[in-house]
Structure 1
Amino acid sequence: MRIETGNVKPKPGEIWEIRRVPQVPIDLDITDYEVLYSDVARSFIQGYASSRYVIIITEPDACQIVTVMLLSGEINYSSNVNILISRELSGLEQDFLAETWLVVEMFVCNLLAAVGQRLSLELYHYLMDVSDNNQQLSRECVSAFCQQELDFTDIFHIPMNIYHHYQKYRDRIHFTEHLLTDIVTLQQELGARNQSRIMLTNWLKNIFEHEWQSFIQKPQLAIAVRGGNNQHSSCSDIGEITTIIQKMSAEREEYQLRKLAKRLGEVASGSANNSDAIQALIKLLQTTQDDETLWTGVESLWQIDPGNVAVGVRRVKLIDWGMYIAGEGVALAVALVPKLGRKFGVLLQVYPLGREIYLPPELQLSLLDESGKVLRIVTARLADVYIQLKFSGEVGERFSVRISLGVAEIIEDFII
């Protein structure tokens, strides 16, 4: 099935072919800007590459911008974040990979036609859950395939940047002059932002900015805590702790290690005799190279011994919107955990404060690179108690975090 675009409104779960020659939603020829695109994107525009497709994630907004997930026909790169979608499920002529780590915004006018069949609601939600739970920094994908896919997204980003600049200056006679002035201003702003970036490794030296607090109301349900303040240990608890530690020492499968580490945090958090559990979790943090295992161990150690130096540091900042959202505030939590070598694990989490249990739907947490390019986005859905992003980086890497809801947004700049 193939439905040409026009008055057809893309719907979540549908698969659409991407238009080869990018457009903007106004009468403006942008073909002269082809030099701005990466080689991968330019090859597609010139017709040398195969057709590309996306899964629609959100319906178009008032500016005719839609969020999509990129598909790839290179199924040899199937992984826990590149999910294989069979032709039976998609209605397409071949199998595709759904790149759950690569969710971007694009103009509806650059969607050529709906193809195949709409994904089932169950499959759509599964892809969204995988995307939310595998929030690794895109630039971490060091393979040639991942870099190729990131370069391809110029197809989406460049038309939007051209459009926004044109809209800003369309009523001015000297468009080029103002555009150059704007670029200089942007460079100056980026320079000022780099100077004001928060250096996260200073936190490990107990050097903090005053607005970043050690504790603001924990996100409800974000981390399960067992036993409250009960410090009495039963024989069954002690026995289970010993058994779990023995199993962790022998286990090599990451999924099982995560299950054991999570259970150890639940049992040992209510036990007075938890020193062995603490040492087992510290050993896990110092030896694992798996990010999900690392964060499971961190969360368990937070429950048992939150001040332990092995779990790095975490600070929280109240987000100042100029007004509260729906009468309540939200907080941004940032955690930094040392990894092997010179790398660090970073956790970003947004959760509600006050009486609210859930985040406002459509609130977005975005990870940006040093130039402001969006690397990852996670959006709060109905009844989300928190949203989060996890990634790794090296000392000296710069990134920014954007929290937005409607027209309101704040950006925090960091350097590891």
Structure 2
Amino acid sequence: MRYYADVADLKLSALGHLECRPVSPGYLCYIPPEVPDNRIGVVVVELDIEHQQAVLVGFAKTVKAGELLFSELQTIEDLLAYLDSLESNPTEVKLSYWLQNIIDAGWQPIEKILASKTPQLAFRYRNGVTRGKLIDMGIELPGRSLALVVTLTPKNSVEIQLKLQVHPSDEQAYLPNNLIVKVLDEKGTTVIEAHARSGSTHVTLEFNAQIGEHFSVNLELGNTNISEKFVI
């Protein structure tokens, strides 16, 4: 948990950042304008400085600047159920926000997830906004991850060019040769796919999408199928 001034944000792996707001005993919590709007929710914590105690008052799914009344909060039990639902139904990554430098949790600059490969990759990603995420393929790839790298470049006010690449993690030189990468539309129909072959260092998929368009990227390896959902 990272504290600054009177606020902390709690990073929940693969889910995002949960805003935590400490308050004095009362009936409302103030959310300042500088709080990022990509939080997955806000938890209000009532502090009793004299007795060195903290009580979880409740939570809200929406984080908006201004006053948040305690009467508007859901219970902590509701919070646990909400987090469970996020795990089973991954939140869509809002790619158009990246162009405003609002990056979804878990997506990092490529030098942070592919440090040893960065010099070779730099020329490929010099245009547009690029972020990557490590994907755990579970028992199909024990102890290893794959890196999903997304680059988006605006073509005009409504259309964006997308380049998706999958790389082996820093510890490996090649992709597993039975890896399949698919792009599916919002109806679940495969629109483009690529297969890793023996000796593949990466696979690439390129396409254009319009503002508001939904799609998902599936990484299939053996019996494991990992899906990342996106909206432009």
Name the TM tier (shorter chain): 0.5 to 0.7
**Alpha-carbon separation, structure 2, partners of 1:410 and 1:204:** 26
**For residue 182 of structure 2, what is the amino acid of its counterpart?**
S
**For residue 94 of structure 2, what is the amino acid of its counterpart?**
M
Q: Deviations over 1:299-322 (max 9, x none)?
A: 3xx4xxx4xxxx221111110223
User: Kindly tell me: are residues 352 and 224 of structure 1, through their superposed partners in 2, closer, same or farther at Cα, counting changes over 3 Å?
Assistant: closer
| 1:404 alignment partner, one of 212, 220, 226 | 220
Q: How does 1:15-414 map to 2 (within 5 A)?
A: 196-215=91-110, 216-217=113-114, 220=117, 223=120, 299=124, 302=125, 306=126, 311-323=127-139, 325=141, 327-414=143-230
**Which moves more between the two structures, 382-391 or 369-378?**
369-378
Residues 136 and 144, structure 2, Cα contact 8 Å, conserved in 1: no
Cα deviation, residue 377, structure 1: 1.4
User: Kindly tell me: are residues 213 and 220 of structure 1, through their superposed partners in 2, closer, same or farther at Cα, counting changes over 3 Å?
Assistant: closer
**Alpha-carbon separation, structure 2, partners of 1:224 and 1:412:** 22
**Alpha-carbon separation, structure 2, partners of 1:408 and 1:200:** 25
| Higher normalized strand content (fraction of residues) | 2
**Alpha-carbon separation, structure 2, partners of 1:206 and 1:413:** 19
Residues 219 and 386, structure 1, Cα contact 8 Å, conserved in 2: no
**For residue 197 of structure 1, what is the amino acid of its counterpart?**
E
**For residue 209 of structure 1, what is the amino acid of its counterpart?**
D
Cα deviation, residue 412, structure 1: 0.5
**Alpha-carbon separation, structure 2, partners of 1:373 and 1:219:** 36
Q: SS at 1:381's partner residue?
A: coil
Q: In terms of Rg, which structure is larger?
A: 1
Cα deviation, residue 218, structure 1: 5.9
**For residue 106 of structure 2, what is the amino acid of its counterpart?**
E
User: Kindly tell me: are residues 390 and 204 of structure 1, through their superposed partners in 2, closer, same or farther at Cα, counting changes over 3 Å?
Assistant: same
Residues 364 and 377, structure 1, Cα contact 8 Å, conserved in 2: yes
For structure 1, the residue ranges without an aligned partner over 5 or more in a row are: 1-188, 226-264, 266-298
| Number of residue-to-residue matches in the alignment | 144
User: Kindly tell me: are residues 318 and 393 of structure 1, through their superposed partners in 2, closer, same or farther at Cα, counting changes over 3 Å?
Assistant: same
| Higher normalized helix content (fraction of residues) | 1
**Alpha-carbon separation, structure 1, partners of 2:103 and 2:118:** 27
**Alpha-carbon separation, structure 1, partners of 2:139 and 2:223:** 13
Cα deviation, residue 221, structure 1: 9.7
For structure 2, the residue ranges without an aligned partner over 5 or more in a row are: 1-84
Residues 221 and 385, structure 1, Cα contact 8 Å, conserved in 2: no
Residues 138 and 224, structure 2, Cα contact 8 Å, conserved in 1: no
Q: Which residue of the partner structure matches residue 63 of structure 1? A: none
**For residue 114 of structure 2, what is the amino acid of its counterpart?**
Q
User: Kindly tell me: are residues 360 and 327 of structure 1, through their superposed partners in 2, closer, same or farther at Cα, counting changes over 3 Å?
Assistant: same
Q: Deviations over 1:58-81 (max 9, x none)?
A: xxxxxxxxxxxxxxxxxxxxxxxx
**Alpha-carbon separation, structure 2, partners of 1:222 and 1:369:** 33
Cα deviation, residue 342, structure 1: 1.8
Residues 319 and 332, structure 1, Cα contact 8 Å, conserved in 2: yes
Q: SS at 1:209's partner residue?
A: coil
**For residue 154 of structure 2, what is the amino acid of its counterpart?**
P
Q: Deviations over 1:20-59 (max 9, x none)?
A: xxxxxxxxxxxxxxxxxxxxxxxxxxxxxxxxxxxxxxxx
Residues 328 and 354, structure 1, Cα contact 8 Å, conserved in 2: no
Q: Which residue of the partner structure matches residue 30 of structure 1? A: none
**Alpha-carbon separation, structure 2, partners of 1:329 and 1:224:** 18
Q: SS at 1:396's partner residue?
A: coil
User: Kindly tell me: are residues 221 and 377 of structure 1, through their superposed partners in 2, closer, same or farther at Cα, counting changes over 3 Å?
Assistant: farther
**For residue 198 of structure 1, what is the amino acid of its counterpart?**
V
User: Kindly tell me: are residues 398 and 381 of structure 1, through their superposed partners in 2, closer, same or farther at Cα, counting changes over 3 Å?
Assistant: same
Residues 165 and 205, structure 2, Cα contact 8 Å, conserved in 1: yes
Q: SS at 1:354's partner residue?
A: coil
Question: Sequence identity of aligned pairs in percent?
Answer: 35
Cα deviation, residue 350, structure 1: 0.4
**Alpha-carbon separation, structure 2, partners of 1:224 and 1:331:** 13
